[in-house]
Chain A
């Protein structure tokens, strides 16, 4: 019996949701196991790093790498798995665009550590210890990997062959991507797979009309009409600027799309695109005869209805965006 191709599923700075999404393949996971030698997955298997290091380069057929790069260890693993893998896939939004971990790029490493270990209300740290480096215990030394100054997505550190979007990727789309890999029926290197070619609006069957938005409302404020476009109802639905393929489960559950599949094909910056789109449909009423100040005040009042620009527009893509985070001068 010929040896099955090796499959690795690694997590860097991530929540574990991508692993759960793989488990959510349900009975298909048996097909996955039949097709691959599922040999590395820290959350499920006991393979050690030294086992991976011992493999010849290119020994792993496919690595699904999820999570952003937050620590030096993440970077090390990215390089190691790149070296050992024939196909390296940025799996899920953290590996693809930075996702939630990358929102830390709006602050500095020091501010971040300070908030977590010193300033937090729930922390009592009178000696001001910030865990780092090597600490000795009777049982032995514990080494904490250093934190990077900025969170990166996978392709900012190593060459990535394909990307599968989603937070997490939908199981059907994971399977579609696996099938594409198995059949060798793959698009050009660098492509995003396991997704559609349009935006979430195409997957969402709500009625779309002309869009004029006078103010945004938040989910807790009202029950949205189940048949009408969420954006038209004043919910900040990211579906218009988000790649489809998820099947729009959120809008089907009466929740607005938060944009986890990232920017559609040909768009380099999802947040900027969303802002451009919203700027075009912002309805501040009839401004005929109003002074510039009065118009500006109306625009400000409109913008005040958006509580968190970064978390809203760059929740999944900050690391891969044009600015990448806070710009330091």
Chain B
């Protein structure tokens, strides 16, 4: 076997410490007596040319490049080898710059180290085998889970790019949390008005691609892998045809069954068949089976009879169904919700009247909400004093250690909107920290601070606060015993991941962070990618964020989806993966458990495990774990690793 060692001086970076001449002398006694060629800067244009010319002339079977970190230039030298018709996996790099020359004082010692490392590489490269990249056809279409701001933005952009998009939404409507708000920080835009164009396009837009919206739906199974996912979606029966219903509401009038409306924080009533809230899109009611009197075995078809659009619009016999779709990438946009403020003791949530969390108050402010936008106590009286408590369960190791980043901003929005409706009402902000980043958020803060009816009070710990009801029935908010009256208390709790995000993570094998949000591939440079290839993150399912960032992450996730999967273009599969020797696999299943990428499946007919090369990251966990020694890590075989170690230790 002919082996070539290419020694890069890297100017004086390597040459000052390591003697190429001494390495050349030592190499004579290496296995297969490799030749050694010295290059001044092998990564330069001249250096690469010299490398390629030498490869053509010498025609080695294996190549060792002793230079810098493979992170810097392994790809460069692999390309050079491909250029001259060699298999690029017959290269072994030795990092004699960072790992030896830069960190060794004595040139003699450095040269000895370099000789040992290069001998290791020579021994290893003799064991290396040519590997080939494989190509795989992919589906360019996408699944978006969640139809809030981030999900809608993603779906629209994908459809605009010509992709078919399946949007799965758990609630009966689109628009997420903010569509239920009145005005938004920082500029007090009307939320439904701002979102309406997006929602309109979601439902009726004309795009090169298609958007298939499934409301009241959940993903229940995911198989396959990047570029070739198969998903099963459970659609709960809406009992109202989205296609034919015009949203006239006649059925609602006719319905005899009443309950409280969860989308108004249960602060108002609704019918068994009803709209989620006024102005909701899609503009159609849905039937809550468990409320409908038919669920008690009684016969009723009041809604169906009331429908002026015909017999087929309301389908009382509609049943749950499971639909399957094939897609290439998945965008998670499942959003967030409020931490349960009643778990922060002493603030009266769920115990005292007129203590609301921020979402309940958003609905109170909303003209489509339970009070039609009127700020009033449960007794129907305009409050003379309102306390707004920030940081409820945030920045608090006993609850959530992080700052949700949006609460201060909406709290000052509340201040503004309350003052506009009730100019004489005194407002006290109890805050631990104040967080108003960015170029626009300060205006609402300034407005509140300049408001002569506003008082700011800082607390150290939420345990210093207490909300009680005094003998007259009025609320009293105290900080370390110093008490002030309030007719209404608004709590701003931490943001936490939406319900069901953990089970969805389990389904997709996406990792969660310590707070239960979906874990990014990298917090700074890859925040819109999950730990699973082809599953992207958008919006507050990744971390608490405002609408602006959610929209941007929606677009970022689309960028990944579009860049990775293109119609007609196959994806390349890296050959450095693990492979099962089926003649040695006894079918113990152990590898399936350990694979962090769900890349291994069991073939029950052959009683063997098989690795999907698309999903395999080549991490080697299964190779180490396989108790039968039946799994090989290509390019990192035991023989290669042992040969390298033996070479270094010779």
Instruction: Mark A residues whose CB is within 8 Å of B.
Output: 197-202, 208-212, 229, 239-241, 244, 264-267, 273-274, 276-277, 279-281, 288-289
Contacts and interface: CB of A to CB of B under 8 A. Distances in A.
Interface string B576-614: 000000011111111011100000000000010000000
Contacts of B514: 288-289
Interface string B333-358: 00000000000000000000000000
B587 A201 contact: yes
Nearest to A244: B586
B588 A199 contact: yes
A9 B31 CA distance: 44
B236 to A, nearest CB: 30
B265 to A, nearest CB: 30
B15 interface: no
A265 B625 CA distance: 15
B455 interface: no
A273 B593 contact: no
B543 to A, nearest CB: 15
B628 A199 contact: yes
A209 B516 CA distance: 28
B621 interface: yes
B625 A277 contact: yes
A279 B627 CA distance: 11
A208 B513 contact: no
B624 A211 contact: no
30 contacts: A197-B584, A198-B584, A198-B585, A198-B586, A198-B628, A201-B586, A208-B587, A209-B589, A210-B593, A211-B590, A239-B588, A240-B586, A240-B588, A240-B628, A241-B628, A264-B584, A264-B627, A264-B629, A265-B584, A266-B629, A267-B627, A277-B590, A279-B625, A280-B590, A280-B594, A280-B624, A281-B590, A288-B512, A288-B513, A288-B516
B80 interface: no
Contacts of B26: none
A16 B282 CA distance: 83
Contacts, number: 80
B607 A202 contact: yes
Interface string B551-592: 000000000000000000000000000000001111111101
Contact of B589 (A198, A210, A289): A210
Given A288-B512, A289-B514, A277 B626 contact: yes
Given A240-B590, A288-B513, A289-B514, A276 B585 contact: no
Contact of A208 (B516, B588, B638): B588
Nearest to B583: A197
Interface residues of B, number: 25
A244 B592 CA distance: 21
A266 B628 CA distance: 8
Contacts of B587: 201-202, 208
Given A198-B584, A201-B587, A289-B514, A265 B629 contact: yes
A288 B401 CA distance: 13
Interface string B76-120: 000000000000000000000000000000000000000000000
A273 B624 CA distance: 8
Nearest to A210: B593
Nearest to B512: A288
Interface string B509-534: 00011111000000000000000000
Given A198-B584, A265-B584, A281 B628 contact: no
B583 A280 contact: no
B593 A281 contact: yes
Given A197-B584, A202-B607, A211 B593 contact: yes
Contacts of A266: 584, 629, 638
A201 B588 contact: yes
B629 A276 contact: no
A71 B626 CA distance: 37
Given A197-B584, A267-B629, A274-B627, A211 B589 contact: yes
Interface string B612-633: 0000000001001111110000
Nearest to B624: A276
B585 A241 contact: no
A199 B627 contact: yes
A12 to B, nearest CB: 29
Contacts of A201: 586-588, 628
Contacts of A229: 588-589
Given A198-B584, A198-B585, A273 B629 contact: yes
A236 to B, nearest CB: 13
Contacts of A244: 586
B584 A273 contact: no
A199 B587 CA distance: 9
B332 to A, nearest CB: 18
A-B pairs with lowest CB-CB distance, top 5: A280-B625, A241-B627, A202-B586, A289-B514, A240-B627
Nearest to A209: B589
A288 B583 CA distance: 39
Contacts of A264: 584, 627-629
Contacts of B621: 280
Contacts of B515: 289
Contacts of A280: 590, 593-594, 621, 624-625
Which of B514, B587, B624, B628 is the most central at the interface, judged by chain A CB atoms within 10 Å of its CB? B628
Contacts of B624: 276, 280
Interface string B11-40: 000000000000000000000000000000
Given A211-B590, A240-B590, A264-B629, 12 more contacts: A201-B587, A202-B587, A208-B587, A210-B593, A240-B588, A266-B638, A267-B628, A273-B629, A274-B627, A280-B593, A280-B621, A289-B515
A62 B640 CA distance: 37
B599 to A, nearest CB: 14
Nearest to B581: A266
Contacts of B638: 266
Nearest to B514: A289
A276 B621 CA distance: 10
A276 B624 CA distance: 6
Contacts of B583: 197
A208 B609 CA distance: 12
B153 to A, nearest CB: 29
Nearest to A242: B627
Contacts of A241: 627-628
Contacts of B588: 199, 201, 208, 211, 229, 239-240
Contacts of A198: 584-586, 628
A263 to B, nearest CB: 8
A198 B586 CA distance: 6
B180 to A, nearest CB: 31
A49 to B, nearest CB: 41
A208 B627 CA distance: 15
Contacts of A274: 627
A200 B627 CA distance: 11
A264 B587 CA distance: 14
A197 B586 CA distance: 9
Which of B513, B514, B593, B638 is the most central at the interface, judged by chain A CB atoms within 10 Å of its CB? B593
A264 B586 CA distance: 11
Nearest to A237: B588
A273 B621 CA distance: 13
Contacts of A208: 587-589
Contacts of A199: 586, 588, 627-628
A79 B392 CA distance: 81
B586 A281 contact: no
B390 to A, nearest CB: 24
A241 B624 CA distance: 12
A210 to B, nearest CB: 5
A97 B600 CA distance: 33
A200 B515 CA distance: 43
Contacts of B625: 276-277, 279-281
Contacts of A281: 590, 593-594, 625
A322 to B, nearest CB: 12
Contacts of B607: 202
Contacts of B513: 288
